[in-house]
């Protein structure tokens, strides 16, 4: 490549902006970024890490990944605010949201972008999530969100519409997020992916699952009391927004009385005052 060609390439906008949200999972984040560095067309990828106040050194990985842009937050502002910071920093027309416990394959980003290119009816696309053994991982949920996830079982390798995929790996058109102004920040850590899926359906667009493209998702089974409370509060926000005040109020009361009568006082500590993971927590 001549110096002139290299200069022209550097002036090109990125093909895809990748926004990785991280919080205190240093080694997983490292593996995620290492996999992104091996992607096809890396020179036209903009990789952004939004670090939610990590204390384990995650935010200092910029020394190992100098081509990655790091946005460091002073504390954990929750997933939703971090996602908004990620897409606002994006220079590409597509943003690929990734959790820090994922690993992509070399062709993942390019192939997902190609599907969006060729399917104007789709507002978003997602890969097939697999576990460490390569088996389909929990990925598809219900609306309204109930916290239950099932592995995708696509009939073949062609893209298929899905209603509500997990937000661990989701590529979207930035224009869609701009159309709704932002991802609703009434959600803290949980609920924003369900909200985006609903907004896409309301806009008569589709989310396509691309079975031929796979992303490893390590995931986890255990959550803190604060995280469980955040989910209950997020569900109440979702129901109030899409099913009306009464449904939202009922869910809000359930978020208090469920933990109370279930003796889950760790959750009640947060659901009673309505404290979600949004940066206002002590």
Instruction: Read off the pLDDT of residues 68-80 as tens digits, 9 standing for 90 and up.
Output: 999 999 999 999 9
User: Element (H or E) spanning 150, and its range?
Assistant: strand 150-151
* Residues 125/130/136/142 CA torsion (nearest 10 deg): -50
Dihedral angle, C-alpha 154, 159, 162, 167, nearest 10 °: 100
pLDDT of residue 78: 96
Q: What is the pLDDT of residue 152?
A: 96
In this structure, the number of other CB atoms found within 10 A of the CB of residue 82 comes to: 27
Q: Over the chain, what is the mean pLDDT?
A: 95
Mean pLDDT of 34-58: 97
- Over residues 230-235, the mean pLDDT reads 98
Structure tokens at 150: 């099932």
pLDDT in tens, 115-154: 999 999 999 999 999 999 999 999 999 999 999 999 999 9
List of residues 6+ apart from 148 with CB closer than 8 A: 141, 142
pLDDT above 70: residue 201: yes
Residues in the chain: 282
pLDDT of residue 280: 83
How far, in Å, CA of 260 to CA of 271, rounded? 10
Q: Which pLDDT does position 10 carry in this prediction?
A: 58
pLDDT of residue 273: 96
Q: What is the pLDDT of residue 4?
A: 54
Q: What is the mean pLDDT of residues 210-218?
A: 97
pLDDT digit string (tens) for 85-101?
A: 999 999 999 999 999 99
CATH top class, domain 10-217: alpha beta
> Which is more confidently placed, 1 or 239?
239
pLDDT of residue 9: 53
| pLDDT more than 90, % of the chain | 92
- State the CB neighbour count (10 A cutoff) for residue 3: 7
Residue ranges covered by each domain of the chain: 10-217, 225-271
* 170 pLDDT above the threshold of 90: yes
Which pLDDT score is estimated for 85? 98
Given a cut of 60, whether residue 3 has pLDDT beyond it is no
Asked whether the predicted pLDDT for residue 191 surpasses 70, the reply is yes
Q: Please report the pLDDT score of residue 2 as a whole number.
A: 59
Question: Counting beta carbons within 10 angstroms of the beta carbon of residue 231, is it exposed (0 to 12), middle (13 to 18) or buried (19 or more)?
Answer: buried
Percent with pLDDT over 70 in the chain:
96
Residue 1 pLDDT: 46
């Amino acid at each position: 490549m001549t110096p002139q060609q290299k200069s022209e390439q550097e002036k090109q906008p990125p093909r895809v902006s990748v926004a990785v949200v991280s919080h205190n999972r240093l080694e997983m984040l490292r593996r995620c970024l290492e996999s992104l560095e091996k992607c096809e067309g890396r020179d036209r990828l903009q990789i952004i890490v939004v670090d939610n106040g990590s204390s384990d050194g995650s935010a200092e990985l910029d020394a190992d990944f100098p081509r990655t842009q790091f946005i460091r937050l002073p504390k954990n502002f929750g997933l939703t605010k971090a996602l908004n910071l990620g897409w606002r920093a994006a220079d590409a027309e597509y943003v690929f949201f990734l959790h820090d416990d994922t690993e992509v394959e070399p062709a993942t980003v390019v192939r997902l972008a190609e599907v969006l290119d060729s399917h104007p009816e789709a507002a978003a696309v997602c890969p097939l999530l697999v576990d460490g053994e390569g088996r389909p991982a929990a990925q598809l949920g219900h609306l309204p969100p109930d916290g239950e996830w099932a592995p995708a079982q696509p009939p073949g390798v062609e893209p298929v519409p899905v209603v509500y995929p997990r937000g661990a790996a989701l590529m979207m058109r930035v224009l869609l997020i701009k159309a709704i102004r932002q991802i609703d920040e009434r959600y803290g850590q949980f609920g924003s992916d369900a909200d985006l899926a609903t907004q896409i359906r309301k806009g008569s667009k589709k989310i396509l699952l691309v079975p031929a493209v796979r992303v490893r998702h390590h995931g986890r089974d255990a959550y803190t009391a604060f995280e469980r409370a955040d989910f209950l509060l997020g569900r109440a926000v979702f129901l109030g927004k899409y099913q009306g005040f009464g449904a939202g109020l009922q869910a809000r009361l359930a978020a208090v009385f469920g933990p109370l009568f279930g003796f889950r006082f760790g959750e009640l500590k947060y659901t009673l005052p309505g404290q979600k993971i949004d940066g206002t927590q002590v």
